[in-house]
Structure 1
Amino acid sequence: MKFRIGVIYDKLQVQISDTEEEKCAYEQEIQTKEIISKILKDRYDVIEIEANRQIIQTLIKSKIDLAFPLCTGIRGESRQSQIPAILEMLQIPYIGSGILGHALALNKSAAKQIFDYNHILTPSFQIFYTSKERLNSDLRFPLIVKPSCEGSGFGIHKDNVVHNEDELILKIDNLLSEYRPPVLVEEFIEGRELTVGVIGNGNKKRILPIMEINFDNIPKEFGNFYTFEVKSKLSDKTKYICPAPISLKTRKIIEKNVNKAFDVLGCKDIARVDIRLKGDKPFVLEINSLPGLKPIYSDLPKMASKAGMSYEDLIFEIVETAIERITIGKIRKKIS
């Protein structure tokens, strides 16, 4: 009997998907799901599974050997962990990070505290639950204000970079009214934007060629950083330079920090780490434990291409990486 993989994708939640950000993310996920399913059918039996209210019954009936979750979840601060939690309850192996890894990566505030504790260089920061809290006097403007538990550029626009306390308070209030608290405030690093893809686990990680995201051709009204508008509308004007022109010494420092950041958050199989480089100092901003995989468009496939991998190679390597991790885990469990 052929090995069976279930590609799990989000159900469109009409009642909460009325923003441009939500619609854009959903369209990308559906397009990604369709092409991944088509590729995997060359080697495996593939079933597409919608993450709706009947998903537990659907998963039980599906008899899949491995799940390939593309789901960001519906809502809540740990929504990317919802499908992994169900899969673990049903004892279905799956690709990607576990419940805790996804929860920590999505929660930027928690992730930065873990980075700080583990001496991984990250911009100085403060966590706000209300705009009435006093700003730490050690923080220096400009600052960038972010929703703590969002990805895909949600809530990130040019006016997120603030230059005084009045702008700061206004932006905190705006984000708290639109997103779940807390709000993360960190020093805005005036430097180069880099991103780094990771495939693998433990000592067998593949660090993909580091990519620089250059905004020289982006109109100034959209900001000199990766805003939602830049990601979704201006990718044709953005310069994606891969491999990034950096020294060997800087590359090794970045790879060391990326490797460590991946491990301390408990990520598995695949992730993308975002960095700001100031001089030769790489500041880890965040980890995306569920990186976009849309061909041509998403950052991780761009980096994989520069590593000599076709898109098909990338998808099969992700699957094989997860299978190897799961198989080794089962062997160790039997031995113990």
Structure 2
Amino acid sequence: MQTDEAGGSVQNEVSLPKKVAVVYSDVKREYFVNEEDYLTEEDADVYAGDVAQHISKMGIEVASFACDNQITDNLKKYAPDMALNLVDSIRGDTSLGSSVPGLFEVLHIPYTGAGVLGWSLGTNKFLMYQLMRSNGIPIPNHQLVSSSSDMIDPNLRYPLFPKLNIEHSSIGIANDSICENERELRAKLKDLIVKHKQPVLVDEFIAGIEVTSAVLDGLNTKVYTVQRKTGGETKDDVMTFDKKWRNWQNIGYEKFDAPGLREHVKKAFDVLKMSDYARIDVRIDHAGRFYFIDRRDRYGHRYE
């Protein structure tokens, strides 16, 4: 078995499908509790169309379908050889997304991305943290809170970094996300919980840099890591929502590597039951220590 510079293993080739369904989120403004959530998915149909166009150029028959109340009938009628799962939410609810791979399983349609278990894990950062820690993957010290008045673990050291437990895509991350004291933390917790109506994971903030690793687990399994250069709106190069979604043209990418990082990324990929492809975010402190902070295994967004 061969290896390549991205740490991948080259396997035997397989034949391409003849007929592919691209399935994407059915996006309507009324489905989402706030504008930020909606903004991350409003172009889901456009992105799916772009993907379908590339598939068509490979000589493969392809059709795109919104994951609405007609999706089962549409898939049965189209009868694809496989489905490309770009769905990120059902009626605006990310936690319902695990039903989509379940649907593919029921219909006996091979599909891309994580299965039901892997998808479900991806909607609970706290649970992901426990799985990674128990498998020797480094994570920040943290606490899950459901109310802005919850007692904060006195062992946590400021600055603290609260983030939504379910949502990804930098939703809720802003210039005030690095909290230097309890007053700032309480204010941020109240804002997140009231606005997004979900628990919040409070991390010890890891001063340093943030890198993101893309994993492609197919014929030629690879890990590519980059540091995203964001222009320094917040200290320590935090990827805020505005940077990612409103000012994405200003983001630069620089290839990054560090001893042991690739192996940790592959281990996290397996532990969290990801499949085919994923993105894993890591903070690296000034001493070069890794802290895994998030994963993303759904590419239904243009700027992710």
TM range (shorter): 0.7 to 0.9
Q: Distance in 2 between matches of 1:38 and 1:195?
A: 27
Q: Distance in 2 between matches of 1:145 and 1:213?
A: 21
1:275 aligns with 2:282: yes
Aligned counterpart, 1:70: 86
Aligned counterpart, 1:4: 19
Q: Distance in 1 between matches of 2:262 and 2:109?
A: 32
- Read off the aligned partner of 1:36 and give its amino acid letter: V
Please provide the CA RMSD for this pair. Answer: 2.1
Aligned counterpart, 2:298: 290
- Per-residue CA deviation, residues 292-331 of structure 1 (Å, 9 max, x unaligned), is 563xx54xxxxxxxxxxxxxxxxxxxxxxxxxxxxxxxxx
Aligned counterpart, 1:109: 126
* Aligned-pair CA distance for 1:235: 2.7
- Per-residue CA deviation, residues 61-105 of structure 1 (Å, 9 max, x unaligned), is 111110101111124452331211211122211011111111112
Aligned counterpart, 1:26: 41
Aligned counterpart, 1:227: 240
* Deviates further, 108-117 or 126-135: 126-135
* Aligned-pair CA distance for 1:213: 1.4
Distance 1:13 1:108, change over 3 A: same
Aligned counterpart, 1:123: 140
Aligned counterpart, 2:12: none
* Aligned-pair CA distance for 1:218: 3.6
- Per-residue CA deviation, residues 265-316 of structure 1 (Å, 9 max, x unaligned), is 110000000011112111111110113563xx54xxxxxxxxxxxxxxxxxx
- Read off the aligned partner of 1:72 and give its amino acid letter: D
Aligned residue pair count: 285
Aligned counterpart, 1:178: 195
Q: Distance in 1 between matches of 2:156 and 2:199?
A: 18
TM-score with structure 2 setting the length: 0.87
2:87–2:300 Cα contact (<8 Å) kept: no
- Read off the aligned partner of 1:31 and give its amino acid letter: V
Q: In the alignment, which of 254, 257, 260 is matched to residue 264 of structure 2? A: 257
Give the secondary-structure state (helix, strand or coil) at the position aligned to 1:252: coil
Give the secondary-structure state (helix, strand or coil) at the position aligned to 2:203: strand
1:96 aligns with 2:113: yes
- Per-residue CA deviation, residues 216-241 of structure 1 (Å, 9 max, x unaligned), is x3445x98410100111223333321
1:77–1:103 Cα contact (<8 Å) kept: no
Aligned counterpart, 1:302: none
- Read off the aligned partner of 2:284 and give its amino acid letter: L
- Read off the aligned partner of 1:255 and give its amino acid letter: R
Aligned counterpart, 2:64: 48
**Highest RCO, 1 vs 2 (Cα 8 Å, sep ≥ 6):** 2
1:198–1:271 Cα contact (<8 Å) kept: yes
Aligned counterpart, 2:172: 155
What are structure 1's unaligned runs of at least 5 residues? 299-336
Q: Distance in 1 between matches of 2:244 and 2:292?
A: 19
Aligned counterpart, 1:189: 206
Give aligned-pair identity as a percent. 28
2:41–2:301 Cα contact (<8 Å) kept: no
Give the secondary-structure state (helix, strand or coil) at the position aligned to 1:159: coil
Give the secondary-structure state (helix, strand or coil) at the position aligned to 1:272: strand
TM-score with structure 1 setting the length: 0.79
Give the secondary-structure state (helix, strand or coil) at the position aligned to 1:78: helix
- Counterparts of residues 210-249 of structure 1 (less than 5 Å): 210-215=225-230, 217-220=231-234, 224-241=237-254, 243-244=255-256, 246=257
Q: Distance in 2 between matches of 1:179 and 1:284?
A: 23
